Amino acid sequence: MKHQLIKRLLDGNDYLSPINDSPQKIMDVGTGTGLWAVEVADKFPSAHVIGVDISPIQNAYGPQNVDWRIDDVEETWSPLYSDLDFVHLRSVSVTLRDPVKVITSAYHNLKPGGWIEFQDAGVKIGCDDHTIPEHYAPTRFMDLFVRTFRTHFSWDLGIPLILPEILRNIGFVNIHCRTHKMPIGPWAKSRHQREIGLFLSKDVLWQLVRAVLVKWPQMGLTQQEAEAMEQDIRKAFHDTRIHAYLPWISVWAQKPSA
C-alpha cells in the first residue's frame, strides 16, 4: 500500500534521479517485499537489479534480472554491489545505526556519474493555515512515536533533513531535495491530493497507529490512555476542517564523473 501511495506522490514515477536510459546495475536497499525492484527491473530489462534486505520477505516470483540478497548493508559490502549506476533507499535512512558509513559504502560502489536517492517520510506534522488545534492527537502520537523509537531502537527520525549535508561531506554533487505534502485525511481541494490523504490516513497511518499503540506499555501509556488516543486520532483523520499534512522528503545526488 505504501508503495502505491509514494508512486501517486511522485506522479507515477519510481524515482526522481535523472539516471540514464540504459542503467546496467541498480541496487534497492531495504527492498522489503521487492515491489520497487520488480517494477524497475521490468522497466530496464537489460539491467541487473539487486534487492537487498535483512529479512527474507521478497516475492519469489520476479523478472529474471532481479537478484534478491539477504544482507546487512551496515557491514562490509559484497563485491557483487560494485559498479552501480543507481542506489535507491526508501524508508531506510532512519533505521540505520550509522548512515554515514552506509552512504560512504554506496559512494565507493557507485560508478562515476552514478546516482543515489533517498525517499523518507518526515515526522513533523505541518499546517499552512493554522487550522491544527492545540493538543492535536496525531501530533501527540508522532511526538510519542519519535521519543519511543529513539529510546528503544536508537532511530534518529530527523536524519532525512540532514541527508543533503551528509551527502555533500562524503563527496556527492548535484544534490537535490524535494518535499511533497501528504494531506492527513480528505481535506485537500484537488482530487489527486484527496486520494493521497485518504490513502495515507486510512491505510498507512492508521496501520502505524494501531501497530504502535497496541504496545502501550513500551510507549509509557496505560491501556486506557492508548485507547483514548486511538479514538482521538480516528476523529482527527475525518475532520476536514484541519488542514494538516506530513512531509515526504526526496533527496538525490550524484557521484562526480571524474
User: Which of the pair, 167 or 8, is modelled with greater confidence?
Assistant: 167
Please report which confidence band the pLDDT of residue 23 belongs to, taking 50, 70 and 90 as the band edges: very high
Instruction: Taking residues 133-161, report their average pLDDT.
Output: 89
- Residue 63 corresponds to which cell in the numbers above? 523478472
What percent of the chain stands above pLDDT 90? 81
Kindly report, residue by residue over 191-204, the tens digit of the pLDDT.
Answer: 999 999 998 888 78
What percent of the chain stands above pLDDT 70? 99
Q: What is the pLDDT of residue 202?
A: 84
Q: Which of 82-91, 169-178, 197-206, 233-242 has the least mean pLDDT?
A: 197-206
Q: What is the mean pLDDT of the chain?
A: 94
Please report which confidence band the pLDDT of residue 128 belongs to, taking 50, 70 and 90 as the band edges: very high
Q: What is the pLDDT of residue 81?
A: 98
Q: Which residues pair with 89 in a beta bridge?
A: 29, 118
Kindly report, residue by residue over 84-122, the tens digit of the pLDDT.
Answer: 999 999 999 999 999 999 999 999 999 999 999 999 999
Domains of the chain and CATH, by start? 2-254 (3.40.50.150)
Instruction: Taking residues 230-257, report their average pLDDT.
Output: 96
